[in-house]
Copies of this chain bind each other. A is one copy, B any other.
Amino acid sequence: MAEFSPGRITPIILAGGSGTRLWPMSRSSRPKQFLPLMGAHSLFQVTLLRLAGDPRYGAPIVVTNSDYRFLVAEQAQDVGVAPDAIILEPVARNTAPAIAAAVAVVARGDAGRIVHVLPSDHLITVDDKYRAALDAAETAALAGALVTFGITPTEPATGFGYIEAGSENAAGGHKINRFVEKPDAERAAEMIAAGHYFWNSGMFVFAAQTLLDEAQALAPEILDAAQKAVAAAQTDLDFLRLDPDAFAAAPDISIDYAIFEKTTCGVVVPAAIAWSDLGSWDAVWKAGDHDSAGNVAQGPVTLRNVTSSLAVSEKLHVVIEGLSDIAVLASEDAVFVGRLSDAQAVGAVVRDLKADPTTSPLTETHLTSYRPWGGYASIHNGERFQVKRLFVKPGKRLSLQKHFHRAEHWVVVRGTAEVQLGDDVRILRENESIYIPQGARHRLSNPGKIELELIEVQTGSYLGEDDIIRFADEFGRS
């Protein structure tokens, strides 16, 4: 990272989570933050656009894991955002090491720089209260505080952690007494009644150097691991790949416990803002547009005599009749039906599905997979054949490859393809086709200006994605 983009605050977006509590939509290969849950853009893109609309921010730094690197790069590109860096965590170590590494990257450029650490998948309404809270946080951070935002609770929610605020300081912030894990209903009600507890938003504002100093004092092993991982990091295409051995040495701990609960310069800024972590389907329902019967419906859905329910469907037509407090979530290949008020149970459901080898793929992959060049959707699985729809972005090129066990028929249905087969290169237009024999070296490119779409019929005795030998690749995968 040569220098910072304009804007005085650097956002650090945490986009490495692999939660599956919004199953069947969220899966480990494409978790919640990368899904278009609340409109045309993914939550990650909504986050990028929210930051891009505020001149106080420079370009973001995104921290994610290696599996999501192309999703991050493409989704950012799609909304016209160029991150200052995309940092790849080699292993998951909770928020403290991830944030320490990102801050270490920032500090290489300007140790005094203010950063705003935030999750990639929360919904926030930008209004005067939000802007006022940010102003307060920035002021406190410039004065040397480690600031966290505490969302003013609107109900005794049991799905969030809480922050107990202590005495108030001059700028309207409060001392942080402690972090409280997700409470039961009784404890949540007590905290609401007490009035000095706030929802833990997972958003922080501080100067890079302040965090480094406090980490040095309170969690030196984290700082050491993070700094070594950054020092030995590899640049890989557009990504900064943290050193695996160094980063793996960091303890697995949240920044709340590692730093914020112990520091003497911690401040919680109360913020009475519209916020949701969309952490479960009932949170999605709360954040959605309700009809007069209190239902939220997305996609092809018909509701008859239904109240206080959530129905989301990607493709199938969902019909619900005569029920209340129901959640029906239909992806292309799975449907979840349960009580909306018990939507937290999806977590246990996914654990069960994961434990069974016949169902675990349903928690991992979608029928549509995204690749740096575009992607493919499985549209039919036969006995010794399968049919996929491939889509290739303008100007992109797949690897030069061959398969031992399958032949492929390609029919171009949209756009223009350039196909290398052996040493021969030819152009295929819409409605033209080509046959790729088993064992033949081949390479597919989209030389055009619009997306290339083709139907691929694979035939052979083994059709796994791992039957691929890559001879050359533009995305570091050969």
Contacts and interface: CB of A to CB of B under 8 A. Distances in A.
Interface of A: 24, 302, 304, 313, 315-323, 326, 328, 330, 333-339, 342, 345-346, 348-349, 352-353, 359, 362, 379-380, 382-385, 387, 389, 407, 409, 411, 413-414, 430-431, 433, 435, 453, 455, 457, 459
A459 B433 contact: no
Nearest to A301: B335
Contacts of A326: 337
Given A382-B453, A384-B414, A411-B409, A317 B337 contact: no
Given A320-B337, A321-B348, A433-B457, 10 more contacts: A319-B337, A321-B336, A321-B342, A322-B339, A384-B414, A385-B414, A387-B387, A387-B455, A407-B431, A409-B409
24 contacts: A302-B349, A302-B353, A304-B352, A316-B334, A316-B335, A317-B333, A319-B337, A319-B349, A319-B353, A320-B338, A321-B338, A321-B339, A321-B349, A323-B338, A328-B337, A335-B335, A380-B455, A382-B413, A383-B414, A387-B387, A387-B389, A409-B411, A433-B433, A455-B455
A338 to B, nearest CB: 4
Contacts of A338: 320-323
A323 B337 contact: yes
Q: How many copies of this chain does the complex contain?
A: 2
B335 A328 contact: yes
A390 to B, nearest CB: 12
A74 to B, nearest CB: 22
Contacts of A333: 315-317
A466 to B, nearest CB: 21
B304 A318 contact: no
A108 B414 CA distance: 61
A304 B349 contact: yes
Given A335-B330, A387-B387, A342 B319 contact: no
Contacts of A457: 411, 413, 433, 455
Q: Is the interface of A mostly helix, strand, loop or mixed?
A: strand
Contact of A334 (B319, B414, B459): B319
Nearest to A433: B409
Contacts of A337: 318-321, 323, 326, 328, 337
A336 B430 CA distance: 38
A316 B319 contact: no
A193 to B, nearest CB: 30
Contacts of A409: 409, 411, 433
Given A337-B320, A413-B385, A430 B455 contact: no
B322 A345 contact: yes
Nearest to A361: B317
Residue of A304, A316, A339, A435 most packed against chain B (CB within 10 A): A316
A443 to B, nearest CB: 21
5 nearest CB pairs, A to B: A321-B338, A385-B413, A317-B334, A411-B457, A379-B380
A311 to B, nearest CB: 8
A387 B383 CA distance: 17
